[in-house]
Structure 1
């Protein structure tokens, strides 16, 4: 009798562990599905990149080609990575978002366009403090990217959205 109780208890423990594992796997799958669903609505494209290596300055147009907007409060989570040549060596720099351009390096939104015309019609981006608004689908933002000092050559820039969509551009 005592052996039967131990056997049943052992089986119950194994079943419980297996159910917990299945539940955990399901929760992970569900979370991944939600993330992929969010990603599917977010997409960007780099349209134009102009650089002035002497000033360490890049201007680029990035268009929201996705189905959902990106909140301005999420801009600090947008990654801007520059690949360039300085002092004869290849360099890579992650550039932080700074809407005021207070210290280099930084990137900020310089202008907003909708279908080729300057201006923001829906959920306007207010770029001064306090900032608010949404980078809506079909809107293009012109980014100003400033590095610390001059560089010899810009190779390319990579932009990654908060949910992981990536676009890149090469200076013309």
Structure 2
């Protein structure tokens, strides 16, 4: 049985990309894999519960992060720099970290598929946000985070990126 997650990704707010952003988005999300990955996500969400499909994609993120290790850093700024280096190498976007009262806020932007057509964008957001939950969970745990802490998608995420909270 897959690990289930309690909430679906929020709906994307549709905005027409500028020609420059559309060009960059197309280059970032390879045409040879785009249709396959969106179709895979659609099939999983269509044939399993949303929690099971998100759990599947989250497991992929957990496994990927375990394979793509980060060096241990001492500061939040150092962690943000290392994360952005890894994300850049994978062409997965950018991250900005900040400390809150009970969590580390993770703002992820410029993600692959961000400017897909509306029909594809929603299903891809649901899948990719779950992958990122897994990735950030492992990467922050390996920086000294507790094993019972996870990165969780926040409901107020917008179409131009995702907001996660890593904490209790």
Question: Is TM more than 0.5 here?
Answer: no
**Which is richer in helix?**
2
Q: What TM-score do you get using the length of structure 2 for normalisation?
A: 0.28
Higher alpha-carbon Rg: 1
**Which is richer in strand?**
1
Q: What TM-score do you get using the length of structure 1 for normalisation?
A: 0.27
